[in-house]
Amino acid sequence: MKKNILFFLFLFISNLFQAQEILNMVQVGNLTYNQDLNDIWGYVDHEGKEHALVGCANGFSYVDISIPSNPQEVFFIPGSNSIWRDLKTWNNYAYITTEAEDGLLIVDLNDLSGQSYTYWTDYFLRAHNIYIDENGFAYIFGSQDGPANGAIILDLNNDPMNPSIAGLFDDYYLHDGMVRGDTLWGSAVYEGVMSAIDVSDKSNPVILGSTPTSCNFTHNSWVSDDGNYVFTTDEQANCYIGAYDVSNISDIQQTDQIQSWNDDSQDGVIPHNTHFISTTYEYLNPTTSSYLVTSYYTSGVTVIDASNPYNLQEVAFFDTSPNYSGSEFEGCWGAYPYLPSGLILASDQQTGLHILEIAGPILGCTNEDASNYNPDANQDDGSCLIVGCTDPVAENYNPEANVEYNESCEYLCDQFFITPPTVQTDLVVNFGEILTIEALGDGDIFWINENQNIIYNGPVFITDPIEQNSTFYVFQEQVVSEGEIFSLGEENHICDGGSYCDYSGINYNGGLQFQSFEEFTLKSVKVYASESGARTIQLYDSNFDNLLQSYTIDVPQSDENGFNIELNWIIPTGEYIITTDENLNNNNFGGNNPMFKRTTGGITNYPYLVDQILSINQAYFNDYENENSAGFSTQYYYYFYDWQIETLNETCSSPSVEININIHNTNLNENYFDKKLIGLFDLLGRSIETVTNEYFYIKLYEDGSFTKEINFNL
């Protein structure tokens, strides 16, 4: 029988918008990508056109946003796969760092063909961040292999496509920083401090002062236009945007700190990057001109009124990734607020480039496929009317349709006619007789009772004793489409050379979250084990409420070909997590980790999809020593490679054949056995309870008829 089909896209979209939080911001444009994004910057060309510079897992994207509602990618420059890219501009050039071994990508933005670029590798191959000051000096932060992992200072003035080195800061690792005048405001994430560094002499930077930040994990810093305050973020769960008075560099004082919860008070949210901007947003407050625009991973973009650094106030937000919440490193990576138009650019790892505006909502239907689409609306009010087939079983089921038009539905079995089985349809039996009925057909035979319940499967049906006239039905199913075998997921384990490439630490157990849209058989998965020993593969529902399948097997130490585990699990429709048994892992390997290898370094293939059957959506991980470290991510792929799945056969049913069974009437009165008896009487008309020694008696029925009968006591 045909299984129900649900589309992954519909589920993703419906989840995306059902919990979105918005305040005083609207989206005017969105450009999605088939890969994860990282950082974002803006640029205005010589014609005054605004552009977005978008860091991607696999390269650099240059986007024309002169029509904000219809952003268009102008060109894309490919690069090595990496989670991290950072971007800045100087004059008409873009400079992009990455933690892959690409060096510094330098792009001449005068050439819209995207062909004028170079990967500059003179001093380093890998770096975490970049900032370019107003004097044309680039500061390369967090280089993994350069002459300094604090800051490499490059002079761009003489030859923007071939910089020269101007100085180094190597007192300690800087994760990020920004420069105003002669002062570098550095974010020393592992020192847990924000530092003011004098770079007037590029060849000899000097630390002027430092202060610890709220969570001792200083991720980024940005100075106010007047130079009196610095604002920081700490990239940890439940941490803050901090404000610091730096007017006396020898006595830095914190003035305030704020956590951004959006409207739904989600716990554990992680701040990423904040930027100070001196501007006026008329919609918010025409008298205020100091704001912080901050990217929060799972909360999207937030706007903080910083006009009083002693009392920071959140005044606007837009959740770019409402399908994520809490302490996940998913969602919004960067936000850029410096375009002349006042638009704010945001890069979301999963949902793409967002073009936002400080404004109130215009409610209406925003779905262009709807019959009541409102092109002026910037916030959907749920009023969209979409006509289509609403039957999930249909081949052309439209999951977005909310106006039924089922005459349009198309079904697989409409293409086939299955001949009913051959069977004797009219039978006469004696009271209490047991019948054996045989149906002949080429398919699978099913028998149904009068309540339309299937009571038997097989060609020969044996009845219970027949004590009243009865009706049965029989039909057959035939296979019209054979099941298929598919491969899914990452085919092989790959290590990109990054830290913790194969393993995330002994405390972590991982797995994959997936969704089945149609019942299938999970035949096998492949794993890569660094140690031999027993592992238990487990299948849970998506909430870990029920353990559904469990299989223990001795896994040998694996070579580059991995080791196939035969499972042959029947997977019904639903959402699941496949993982390993952490208790067995602890017994065998001394930790939560099963010592199966994973893949990291910017997985770009999620969701792994067999259309209308299965979608592997994201990785699952759990640290048994820290419950706040459990979550989901598309940046990793845990353990289970090269899934082999087999779909079920598609079958169609014949029309049912009705079988009527009547009891043979041995009494002179018609319908004797169908009448309800209401009384017994002797020949004088007296009521009697039972027939004993009376030879003659009368039976009276509900319909007024009667019978005269003789009782023989032999």
Span 395-426, pLDDT tens digits: 787 878 888 765 788 888 888 999 999 999 99
Examine the domain organization and report whether 494 and 599 are in the same domain.
Answer: yes
Report which of residues 678 and 271 the model is more confident about: 271
If one counts the domains in the chain, the total is 3
Is a pLDDT exceeding 70 seen at residue 505?
A: no
Report which of residues 368 and 210 the model is more confident about: 210
The pLDDT value given to residue 497:
47
Examine the domain organization and report whether 519 and 465 are in the same domain.
Answer: no
Examine the domain organization and report whether 443 and 568 are in the same domain.
Answer: no
- Domain CATH for 470: 2.60.40.10
- How far, in Å, CA of 487 to CA of 522, rounded? 10
Is a pLDDT exceeding 70 seen at residue 40?
A: yes
User: In the predicted model, what is the mean pLDDT of residues 504-509?
Assistant: 73
Q: Residue 523 falls within a domain, yes or no?
A: yes
**What DSSP character marks residue 420?**
P
Is a pLDDT exceeding 70 seen at residue 481?
A: yes
Contact between 133 and 180 under an 8 Å Cβ cutoff? The reply is yes
Q: Pick the range with the lowest mean pLDDT from 211-220, 549-558, 614-623.
A: 614-623
Examine the domain organization and report whether 518 and 550 are in the same domain.
Answer: yes
The pLDDT value given to residue 713:
53
Q: Pick the range with the lowest mean pLDDT from 358-372, 410-424, 622-636.
A: 622-636
User: In the predicted model, what is the mean pLDDT of residues 542-547?
Assistant: 91
Q: Kindly give the pairing relationship between strand 379-380 and strand 363-364.
A: parallel
Q: Residue 230 falls within a domain, yes or no?
A: no
What is the Cα gyration radius of the chain? 36
User: In the predicted model, what is the mean pLDDT of residues 36-46?
Assistant: 96
Examine the domain organization and report whether 631 and 548 are in the same domain.
Answer: yes
The pLDDT value given to residue 418:
94
Q: Residue 628 falls within a domain, yes or no?
A: yes
Q: Last residue of a domain, which of 613, 648, 683?
A: 648
Residues making up the chain, counted from first to last: 714
- How far, in Å, CA of 348 to CA of 32, rounded? 9
Q: Which domain holds residue 522?
A: 485-648
Q: Give the pLDDT band of residue 9 (cuts 50, 70, 90).
A: very low
| pLDDT tens per residue across span 78-128 | 999 999 999 999 999 999 999 999 999 999 999 999 999 999 999 999 999
pTM above 0.75, yes or no: no
The pLDDT value given to residue 329:
87
Examine the domain organization and report whether 545 and 470 are in the same domain.
Answer: no
Residues whose CB is less than 8 angstroms from the CB of residue 67 and which lie 6 or more positions away in sequence, other chains included: 29
CA of 676: how far to CAs of 66, 690, 706, in Å? 86, 16, 11
Q: Which amino acid is at 267?
A: D
Examine the domain organization and report whether 496 and 595 are in the same domain.
Answer: yes
Examine the domain organization and report whether 505 and 468 are in the same domain.
Answer: no
| pLDDT tens per residue across span 162-199 | 999 999 999 999 999 999 999 999 999 999 999 999 99
Residues whose CB is less than 8 angstroms from the CB of residue 646 and which lie 6 or more positions away in sequence, other chains included: 483, 484, 485, 486, 520, 521, 523
- Domain CATH for 602: 2.60.120
The pLDDT value given to residue 16:
37
Q: Kindly give the pairing relationship between strand 614-623 and strand 508-516.
A: antiparallel
The pLDDT value given to residue 702:
76
Helix (H, G, I), strand (E, B) or coil at 504: coil
Q: Give the pLDDT band of residue 7 (cuts 50, 70, 90).
A: very low
Q: Residue 455 falls within a domain, yes or no?
A: yes
Share of the chain above pLDDT 70, in %: 90
Contact between 663 and 430 under an 8 Å Cβ cutoff? The reply is yes
Q: What average pLDDT is seen over the chain?
A: 88
User: In the predicted model, what is the mean pLDDT of residues 351-380?
Assistant: 88
Q: Residue 570 falls within a domain, yes or no?
A: yes
Q: Give the pLDDT band of residue 266 (cuts 50, 70, 90).
A: low
The pLDDT value given to residue 501:
62
Q: Give the pLDDT band of residue 712 (cuts 50, 70, 90).
A: low
Distance of CA 199 to the CA centre of its chain: 45
Examine the domain organization and report whether 549 and 632 are in the same domain.
Answer: yes
Q: Residue 638 falls within a domain, yes or no?
A: yes
Q: Residue 347 falls within a domain, yes or no?
A: no
User: In the predicted model, what is the mean pLDDT of residues 361-380?
Assistant: 85
DSSP string, 151-173: EEEEE-SS-TTS-EEEEEE-SS-
Sheet holding 37-44, edge to edge: 37-44, 50-56, 59-64, 72-78
| pLDDT tens per residue across span 313-341 | 999 999 998 877 777 888 999 999 999 99
The pLDDT value given to residue 403:
86
The pLDDT value given to residue 494:
77
Q: Residue 430 falls within a domain, yes or no?
A: yes
| pLDDT tens per residue across span 47-68 | 999 999 999 999 999 999 999 9
- How far, in Å, CA of 206 to CA of 196, rounded? 9
| pLDDT tens per residue across span 560-617 | 899 999 999 999 989 999 999 988 988 988 888 899 988 875 556 788 988 778 999 9
Examine the domain organization and report whether 489 and 467 are in the same domain.
Answer: no
Helix (H, G, I), strand (E, B) or coil at 701: strand
Token readout for 385 is 């009317």
The pLDDT value given to residue 1:
30
| pLDDT tens per residue across span 659-701 | 999 998 655 444 545 667 888 877 777 888 776 655 677 778 7
| pLDDT tens per residue across span 429-439 | 988 899 999 99
Is a pLDDT exceeding 60 seen at residue 485?
A: yes
Examine the domain organization and report whether 602 and 503 are in the same domain.
Answer: yes
Examine the domain organization and report whether 497 and 623 are in the same domain.
Answer: yes
